[in-house]
Structure 1
Amino acid sequence: MSVTTAPAGRGAMKPQATGPRLYHPTVARLTYRALLGRRRALLLFLLPLLLLVIVSAVRALAGADDTTANDVLQGFALSAMVPLVGVIAGTGAIGPEIDDGAIVYLLAKPIRRSTIIFTKLLVAVGVTMAFSAIPTLLAGYILNGNGQNIAVAFAIGAAVASIAYAAIFLLLGVLTRHAVVVGLVYALVWEGVVGNVVPGARTLSVQQWALAVAQKLAHGDVVSSNVGLTTSIVLLAAVTAAATWFAGRKLRSLKLAGDE
């Protein structure tokens, strides 16, 4: 059994959609179960645990310092951990179902495909926030006891970034069977390297948009971003909305096909 992409037409299977328009509890429950399975749960717990081990070692060696806290939270939490958790949650929310053909059972139900996408996005956002924003907050308190409001600022920045990352990687899960590989390249190369080094690319970096939010919330000038706050908020909203809309559109173009 497989799923193929084709323009919706008279021959496409179109079960009449019923039920909630934006959120479907059964879809959410199945998505949570898939994301928190043994393998993905291990990866989701491993990244925050690594962050907490690192910040504990840094605090023991360097003591409480605002600049150190900013460097660690930006250099590891926001530029590496948050996008990687987003890759796991965003692609895992729908990609495996499409790859193994299990999505056909869901698409055959009378549920709007936009509802499926939005429900899976909410689950992916919730999981990404839980495994990135909360550990970032704890890490900030360990590093400097929330001095200059850095812990709270980076935690909210991580939560904001979680929304955009979940939408981007959910879209990748619909577009390609290699969503994890593409997502890892994006997270590690673009967000981790290019977005920090190349001046022109910083404007198109989710990390920099999240940093603008953190900069607004932090006290003093310890936290800084290369993108203005208004621009960052507009781009975060636009990217999230566009990725969600396009994912729904691509899912609507899927038709069921199977080997008898």
Structure 2
Amino acid sequence: MYDPTVARLTYRALLGRRRALILFLLPALLILIAIAVRALTGVDDKVAADLLGGFALATMVPLIGVIAGTGAIGPEIDDGSIVYLLSKPVKRPTIIMTKLTVAIAVTMAFSAIPTLIAGFILNGNGQQIAVAYTIAALVASIAYSALFLLLGTVSRHAVVFGLVYALIWESLFGSLVSGAKTLSVQQWALSLAEKVAGEGYVDATVGLPTAAVLLTVVTVGATVYAGQKLRRLTLAGEE
């Protein structure tokens, strides 16, 4: 379920000059903030957890997920160039799985790696905080990529809807409405971070078993539905 040609084209689209600049911006900002905080406060486990949870996991990871997930397929559908890909002898589920794999890889590279680096800058992985949030970023990258890839297949406004979910639903409603936290990829990922670092430094509102089930359901469900939507796209002359 992986096509090297589709992967190469998708990487080229995601890592073009404009998108690459945006993808590098947030990780660079995180690392710069980590350096400044370390210089000002020294080693502080609580400060490290707050920065990695409040900026890296809550803001950087979902935004990069939006860029990578929607950008893996959305622009091709919007400008109609997807018809050239669909006309090739490549199964449509293979196209979705390949694009999802690329989106996950890009999201992980631009979110989990900077999170680990920032964590070591802040406190040298004291209390396993750097590793805990890196694991959370890795897991969140998978769910966000699947969710936003689905948005890219069903809507021409996928980026807008992705930003609404990431910045308004998860960050705003997720912090104000307790019930909204249950439907938050961020909170599901935090449950894994809490397992590694402990409750004193990570506060997740969703239990680990529930989080694991929801992460699996969302990732698999979004991928399957995206494949179905792509199957329904017909080319001129198809019956």
Letter in structure 2 aligned against 1:79: A
One of 203, 209, 216 as aligned partner of 1:230: 209
Q: Distance in 2 between matches of 1:256 and 1:156?
A: 41
1:221 to partner: Cα distance: 2.1
* RMSD across aligned positions (CA): 1.0
Query: Do the aligned residues in 2 keep the contact of 1:150 with 1:219 (CA within 8 Å)?
Result: no
Structure 1 residue 219 displacement after superposition: 4.6
SS at 2:234's partner residue?
strand
- Alignment pair present for 1:59 and 2:70: no
**What is the one-letter code of the residue matched to 2:108?**
M
Count of residues in Structure 1 that have an aligned counterpart in Structure 2: 237
Number of the residue aligned with 1:207: 186
2:162 to 183, 190, 205: 183
| Alpha-carbon separation, structure 1, partners of 2:125 and 2:149 | 33
- Aligned ranges for residues 234-245 of structure 1 at < 5 Å? 234-245=213-224
CA drift at 1:220: 6.0
Normalized per residue, which structure has more helix?
2
8 Å CA contact 2:136, 2:192 repeated in 1:
yes
Query: C-alpha distance in 2, partners of 1:257/1:157?
Result: 44
**SS of equivalent residue, structure 2 residue 88:** coil
Unaligned residue ranges in structure 1 (runs of 5+): 1-21
- CA distance in structure 1 between the partners assigned to 2:218 and 2:97 by the alignment: 15
Counterpart in 2 of 1:165? 144
Q: Which position in structure 1 is the counterpart of 2:89?
A: 110
Whether the aligned pair in 2 keeps the contact of 1:91 and 1:180 (CA below 8 Å) is: yes
TM value normalised by structure 1:
0.89
Which structure has more relative contact order (CA 8 Å, sep 6+)? It is 1
The residue type equivalent to 1:89 in the other structure is A
Distance 2:196 2:100 in 1: 26
The 1-side partners of 2:46 and 2:150 are apart by 36
- How many Å separate the matches in 1 of 2:103 and 2:199? 33
Question: What residue in structure 2 maps to residue 141 of structure 1?
Answer: 120
Q: Secondary structure at the match of 1:223?
A: coil
Q: Does 1:74 align with 2:53?
A: yes
TM-score normalised by structure 2 residue count: 0.97
CA contact (8 A) 1:79 1:207 kept: yes
Which residue is 2:200 aligned to?
Answer: 221
Larger Rg: 1
SS at match of 1:255: coil
Percent of pairs with identical residues: 70
The yes-or-no answer on 1:120 pairing with 2:99 is yes
Match of 1:48 among 27, 30, 48: 27
Q: What is the CA distance between 1:194 and its match in structure 2? A: 1.3
- The question of whether the paired residues in 2 share the 8 Å contact of 1:90 and 1:121 is answered with yes
Which runs of 5 or more structure 2 residues have no equivalent in the other structure?
Answer: none
